Structure 1
Amino acid sequence: MLESVWRGEALTTRVGPAVVQGGYTVVRLDISADSGERFSLGSSMFGAGVDNNTMAAVRMILLRDKVAFLDVQSYVDGIARAVDAGSSLELFAVFGGLPKGTESVDVFLPNVGVALGVPVVDAASAGFDVDAALADAEIDESIESVPLELNSLVVVADGSSDTEKDDASTTVNVSGDVLLATDSADLSSEADGVLSTVVQQLELYPSGGTLGIVGHTDDVNTDEHNQGLSERRAKAVSDRLGELTDLSGWETTVSGKGESEPRVANDSDENRQLNRRVEILLTPTDPSEAAAGTAGGGTSSSSGEMPDATGPVGRGPEGVDIDIDGVPARISLDSVTRTGKFLVGAVKIEAEQDVKVPTSFLRLPVDLRLTHMWTTFSTTGFTLLSGNQRYLVCDVQFKDGEYLQMVSLGRVPPLTAGNASSFPAVWPDTGGESVVLDLIGGRDAYSEMLTVRLTDIPVIDG
């Protein structure tokens, strides 16, 4: 049971049970207004931006298995209908089938929260007509119904590298601008500090494995020049890594791709900077050697100092005063819950007066958002800090390579006076007993982004 506020209406959402039938998983949602008055959700509460009258931003997740499922309906009938006083709105989310033996699932509901441990039962015990729910569902066969792996980037706060890890391998992208001299394969004075991230990852696996080091450039200069430069840069990194740590257990390959495999389009100075990089892929012989808590993408212990705060700072449970277009408000995060290798929580924002939230207010700055080409309008700015490592919210990757983040998608709804709106998120586990939530802030073409830091947020074992 989750409590939330949507467009000024205090709601209670009862989630579950889940039932597997006919190759699909049906999850019941029962939503009521706490005021007991007639209410309507409108068409965009569970959608993703323009996908109104859908549950396109709802996820069924198995946090212990590091996977998420998408709702497969193209349209949800009745999601926007008015509900009489004293009644509730019954909706059904529909996902792909679960693995046999699954006893519970977790359900991510944008603008509401994350329901943990929703039981999976048989149809006879469901308390609703499963056949009718599936018959009424408008299934879109083009939506991927298979489980999609949950992943996230962990970025060194100064932008010098980012790390992504799955069950089989770890990829570290090191910034060429920080690591190497301009248009050169000469290592900079900062190189050892930047490569320490890679060394930490290598040392998690004493048995070694395979190590691929690949240089990349932007599209400035000729193809021939960029190809040679990328190869020399990869070789320089390989040589220095061999001096910083023992690579005898690693079968190492070194190559360059020139400008042929850009991370993002070479259509701006910011994008070209992202493309100038050295990519280091570690595939350990025994992935289980990694210390507990690192599977989400971070290292077993953070290195370096936490960056200085550039906005207001306060303890998460008490909250911090902020300003939204001249209206006083307060942002807080009471706690986060650890489940498997992940943390889940819901950020609360309460305004003193009714106010429309600026388009980009809770968004991640463009340089970080572009690393996975995330949706423009969403609550991606909720990052966790541990030392000098910044843990971004989790996302899933489609077969075509597109990423979709695990946050409330679309523009943030208006806030109503005295009501705390909920913005749930899922992060990789930082490994500590408390976390720091940090919104970087800045400004883009649309509006100012929020700059604030919440500290001492307790981690509760789920």
Structure 2
Amino acid sequence: MLDSVWDGASLTTRVGPAVVAGGYTVLRMAFSTDSKSVVRLGYALDGGWTTAMVSMAGVRIMSLATGMIYRELNTATPVGLSGFSKDEDLILFPVFGALPDGVDSIEVFIPSVGVALGVPVVGASEAGFDVETALADAEINERVEPGPFELNSLVVAADGSSDTEKDEASTTVNVSGDVLFATDSADLSNEADGVLSTVVQQLELYPSGGTLGIVGHTDDVNTDEYNQGLSERRAQAVSDALGELADLSNWETAVSGKGESEPRVPNDSDENRQLNRRVEIILTPTDPGEASTTGGGAAVSSGDMPEPEGPVGRGPEGVGIEVGGVPARISLDSVTRIGEHLVGTVALVAEQDVRTPISLLSLPDDLLYLRMWYSFTTTGFTLLKGKERYLVNDFHNAGKYRPMVDGQMVPNLTAGTPRFFPAVWPDTGEQSVVLDLIGGKSVHSEILTVRLTDIPVMEG
């Protein structure tokens, strides 16, 4: 059961149980309010992921213990048009792909509401609702791939020198070419050893070794032939350095260059070209599970956090900010650890009605471009550990990386009425976390700069 507010009215959301039947997973969701006026959820559950704005497309079921996620498939229920009040609940039955055998509980991500934990998976006879009727009434969107999709993590150095992506099978570290080398040079800089320590820390998580790919990349300045040679020389220089910094005897190493042929982002600005100048190190361990016994799957961080650029306060109490010139408060009571992930719900409330900047809770453009996330979503909720930023988890579907946040534009705020923004992050491995919104500007609007500290981690 989750308590929240929608359209000025209290909202209680009761989630579960879930039932696997007929090749699908059916979930029961009940919404109630103490408002005497009719409440309509509108786009609340769509989460901005479709153009219909009356769907449940933003609801996801997750098995965070296994790092898997499923998309919603039922298009039959006109969520945004279905009203309810104090006298009658709204009952919905979103449908997902079938969970595998052995899963007895799940987590449910609900845009604008929160994340429901420990939702039971039961047999049809224990459901308390007519599973066959719920499936018969559903209209399955065959164009949507149901999943399961693997949750990915992305950790970036606060100074932009590297970023680390993890999935179930491999770890990829992208190291900035501008930090490793001078312009047009394959000679390593004085900073190279410090930056490559990120790679060394990852290698040490897997004593049994595996395969190690080291690939150089350039931007599109100069000729194809020149860039190909430069990328190869830079990859070899990094390989030689790693051989001195770490024991690679159990790693089968392959070194190559791609020149300008595989840009990370389009080469259409100086900022994008900087992202494309990189050396990519791909670790595919023989035993991916070793990380859990040698230090965990989270990135290893050291050093002091970057100085805050905006207001700072404890997460549970929140901190005062301004939104469009209006006093407001942002808070995060706690996060919950489940498997190798953290879940939590950020609350934002303003003292007066205010039109919200479209990119208020987003990442700055240079970080958005790493995944090509939309610039108006709530991707700005980064967890800061030392000099490392843990971005929200995402999953890859239909050629896009879809972040585990609310996909809609940040709605305008009504005086005294909180808005809720759930999110899922990689586990930092700490007992308390720091939420840091970086600030800056996007192509659309200014971005909020604020830091919340001392956010307790609860065990799920």
Residue matched to 1:17: 17
Structure 1, residues 65-84: CA drift from partner, whole Å, max 9, x if none?
Answer: 10100001345334422224
Structure 1, residues 171-222: CA drift from partner, whole Å, max 9, x if none?
Answer: 1011111111112111112111110100100111122211110001111111
Distance 1:406 1:78, change over 3 A: closer
Displacement of 1:414 in angstroms is 2.1
Structure 1 residue identity aligned to 2:42 = G
How far, CA to CA, are the matches of 1:43 and 1:232 in structure 2? 52
1:277-426 mapped onto 2 (5 Å cutoff): 277-291=278-292, 298-299=298-299, 301-398=300-397, 400-426=398-424
Structure 1, residues 88-143: CA drift from partner, whole Å, max 9, x if none?
Answer: 11111110001012111110001100001101112222122222222222211111
Q: How many residues align?
A: 459
How far, CA to CA, are the matches of 2:429 and 2:52 in structure 1? 36
Secondary structure of 1:441's aligned partner: strand
Distance 1:190 1:405, change over 3 A: same
How far, CA to CA, are the matches of 2:231 and 2:444 in structure 1? 36
Displacement of 1:246 in angstroms is 1.6
TM-score (norm 1): 0.96
Secondary structure of 1:379's aligned partner: coil
Structure 2 residue identity aligned to 1:39 = V
How far, CA to CA, are the matches of 2:7 and 2:271 in structure 1? 37
How far, CA to CA, are the matches of 1:192 and 1:22 in structure 2? 55
Displacement of 1:286 in angstroms is 2.0
Q: Does the alignment pair 1:145 with 2:146? A: yes
Residue matched to 1:450: 448
Residue matched to 1:126: 127
Structure 1 residue identity aligned to 2:22 = G
How far, CA to CA, are the matches of 2:152 and 2:43 in structure 1? 29
Displacement of 1:458 in angstroms is 0.5
Secondary structure of 1:138's aligned partner: coil
Structure 1 residue identity aligned to 2:132 = D
Contact kept? 1:393, 1:407, Cα under 8 Å = yes
Structure 1, residues 393-418: CA drift from partner, whole Å, max 9, x if none?
Answer: 011112x4311010011111222222
Residue matched to 1:208: 209
Secondary structure of 2:125's aligned partner: helix
Contact kept? 1:37, 1:86, Cα under 8 Å = no
How far, CA to CA, are the matches of 2:173 and 2:2 in structure 1? 37
Contact kept? 2:45, 2:59, Cα under 8 Å = no
How far, CA to CA, are the matches of 1:92 and 1:82 in structure 2? 16
Secondary structure of 2:367's aligned partner: helix
Residue matched to 2:64: 63
Structure 1, residues 270-296: CA drift from partner, whole Å, max 9, x if none?
Answer: 221111110001112222221459665
Contact kept? 2:45, 2:110, Cα under 8 Å = no
How far, CA to CA, are the matches of 1:92 and 1:177 in structure 2? 51
1:218-257 mapped onto 2 (5 Å cutoff): 218-257=219-258
Contact kept? 2:11, 2:32, Cα under 8 Å = yes
Moved over 6 A (4+): none
Distance 1:368 1:295, change over 3 A: farther
Structure 2 residue identity aligned to 1:23 = G
TM-score (norm 2): 0.97
Residue matched to 1:267: 268
1:174-193 mapped onto 2 (5 Å cutoff): 174-193=175-194
Residue matched to 1:258: 259
Percent identity among equivalent residues?
A: 66
Contact kept? 2:34, 2:85, Cα under 8 Å = no
Displacement of 1:304 in angstroms is 2.1
- Structure 2 spans left out of the alignment, 5+ residues: none
- Structure 1 spans left out of the alignment, 5+ residues: none
RMSD: 1.5
Distance 1:295 1:86, change over 3 A: farther
Contact kept? 1:70, 1:144, Cα under 8 Å = yes
How far, CA to CA, are the matches of 1:189 and 1:334 in structure 2? 42
Contact kept? 1:7, 1:415, Cα under 8 Å = no
Distance 1:448 1:418, change over 3 A: same
How far, CA to CA, are the matches of 1:453 and 1:99 in structure 2? 39
Contact kept? 1:29, 1:92, Cα under 8 Å = yes
Residue matched to 1:46: 46
Secondary structure of 2:107's aligned partner: strand
Residue matched to 1:28: 28
